Amino acid sequence: MTNVTRDFFIGLSNSKFLNAQAKKWGFVLGADKFVAGTTIQSVVDAVKEQNAKGISCTLDNLGEFVSDKGEANQAKEQILAILDTINKQNLDCHLSVKLTQLGLDIDQDYCIANMKDILDTAKQYSIFVNIDMEDYSHYEATLDVLNELREHYDNVGTVIQSYLYRAEEDLSRLKDMRIRLVKGAYKESEEVAFSDKQDIDRNFIKLAKQRLLGNTFTSIATHDHHIINELKAFVDENAIGTDKFEFQMLYGFRNDMQDKLAENGYNFCTYIPFGDDWFGYFMRRLAERPQNMNLIMKDALYTEDNRLKKGPVIAGTAIAAATALTLWRRKK
């Protein structure tokens, strides 16, 4: 995929206007293929379906870049309700959170206080909470918050992105903590991150192997079968127990492969996002894989029985696309 296409979708993912509009639209553009629902109830079914196949889940109550305390409080309350639901329904499931949803951009201490409320409840239910890693402008602050939290809690972890030059150094500092390893989803400058896919992949494999040889649990989060196959072989060669790691993939991606890995005895965890704040998440998925556009076009233009949609739907989609394009051009 060209960088232009990637930059285009990343640009859209950051548009506050479109994110706000999308909450009013509900799921359009095929977002329901990658986002499990808008309410806690709707997502429980998706978790149960995965659990029945021996797959655990991590739930992400979608939302990011919150600049208002009311909204951050609301997000925290929603997350506490999710923890109650996981506990009451005995789901095999942990939590993924974004610190900018919990007030990182408002005030770091306020964000820490919100996280402590969440971790207290999670600890009571023995639920692990993973802090997603966002763009590099939030990186240091995220690690600061994490360092404060890890002094009091052992049920918290975070994500390391292999596109960052400093990933190896940070990973070695976090060698005793449960970590999710990813390639990285944001557009970062060449001053801090590899831009070449081969470099990112090579670093991912190197870091994954280092973690697998260490003592702490690692979530290997990728849809890349080349990497998964190489790591499976590495695990076999080094007689590494399957209890030391899990594979993770996003909801709606490579479902057959998710099932197969679980059937073959690997720990597997599906990352399930839900909620009406779906736009930024969805645009980042388009940035990663242009083939996902096929789903959008099919969803926007055709009915379920493959007939061409008419009138307002096409108009709405065209307007949304034109607005998005205009905003993106204006931003450049």
Catalytic residue numbers, as ranges: 132, 180
Contacts of range 232-241, beta carbons closer than 8 Å, 24 or more positions apart? 232/266, 234/209, 238/212, 238/213, 240/212, 240/213
Q: Does 254 bind ligand FAD (CB under 6 A)?
A: yes
Residue 179 three-state SS:
strand
Q: Rounded to an integer, what distance in angstroms lies between the CA atom of residue 286 and that of residue 230? A: 26
- Segment interacting with ligand FAD, rule: CB under 6 A, options 3-11, 40-48, 244-252, 302-310: 244-252
Q: How far is CA 322 from CA 236, 315, 316, in A?
A: 51, 10, 10
- Segment interacting with ligand FAD, rule: CB under 6 A, options 11-19, 102-110, 222-230, 306-314: 222-230
Count of positions (residues) in the chain: 332
Q: Does 249 bind ligand FAD (CB under 6 A)?
A: yes
CA 123 vs. chain centroid, Å, equals 22
- Segment interacting with ligand FAD, rule: CB under 6 A, options 26-34, 72-80, 137-145, 246-254: 246-254
Choice between 234 and 253, CB closer to ligand FAD: 253
What is the smallest separation between the CB atom of 111 and ligand FAD, expressed in angstroms? 16
With contacts defined by CB under 6 A, how many residues of the chain interact with ligand FAD? 21
Which of 19, 38, 161, 258 touches ligand FAD (CB under 6 A)? 161
Q: Does 221 bind ligand FAD (CB under 6 A)?
A: yes
Q: Rounded to an integer, what distance in angstroms lies between the CA atom of residue 186 and that of residue 159? A: 13
Q: Rounded to an integer, what distance in angstroms lies between the CA atom of residue 168 and that of residue 210? A: 9
CB atoms within 10 A of CB 173: 11
- Of residues 289 through 318, those in contact with ligand FAD by CB under 6 A are 289
- Of residues 178 through 197, those in contact with ligand FAD by CB under 6 A are 182-186
What is the smallest separation between the CB atom of 125 and ligand FAD, expressed in angstroms? 22
Q: Does 222 bind ligand FAD (CB under 6 A)?
A: yes
Stretch 24-43: interaction string toward ligand FAD, x if CB under 6 A: --------------------
Choice between 10 and 28, CB closer to ligand FAD: 10
Which of 64, 105, 132, 277 touches ligand FAD (CB under 6 A)? 132
CA atoms within 13 A on the CB side of 174: 26
Q: Rounded to an integer, what distance in angstroms lies between the CA atom of residue 332 and that of residue 328? A: 7
Q: Rounded to an integer, what distance in angstroms lies between the CA atom of residue 278 and that of residue 38? A: 9
Residues sharing a CB contact under 8 Å with residue 251, sequence separation 6 or more, in sequence order = 34, 35, 36, 46, 270, 271, 272, 273
Q: Rounded to an integer, what distance in angstroms lies between the CA atom of residue 286 and that of residue 1? A: 11
Q: Does 94 bind ligand FAD (CB under 6 A)?
A: no
Q: Does 14 bind ligand FAD (CB under 6 A)?
A: no
- Per the CB < 8 A criterion, the answer to whether 87 and 127 are in contact is yes
Element (H, E) at 233: helix 225-237
Q: Does 223 bind ligand FAD (CB under 6 A)?
A: yes
Which of 71, 148, 168, 224 touches ligand FAD (CB under 6 A)? 224
- Segment interacting with ligand FAD, rule: CB under 6 A, options 2-10, 30-38, 47-55, 176-184: 176-184
- Segment interacting with ligand FAD, rule: CB under 6 A, options 17-25, 217-225, 306-314, 317-325: 217-225
Residues forming a β-bridge with 158:
131, 179
Could you tell me the two tokens for 263?
């059937």
Task: Summarize as ranges the residues that interact with ligand FAD (CB under 6 A).
Answer: 132-133, 159, 161, 182-186, 221-224, 248-250, 253-254, 271, 288-289
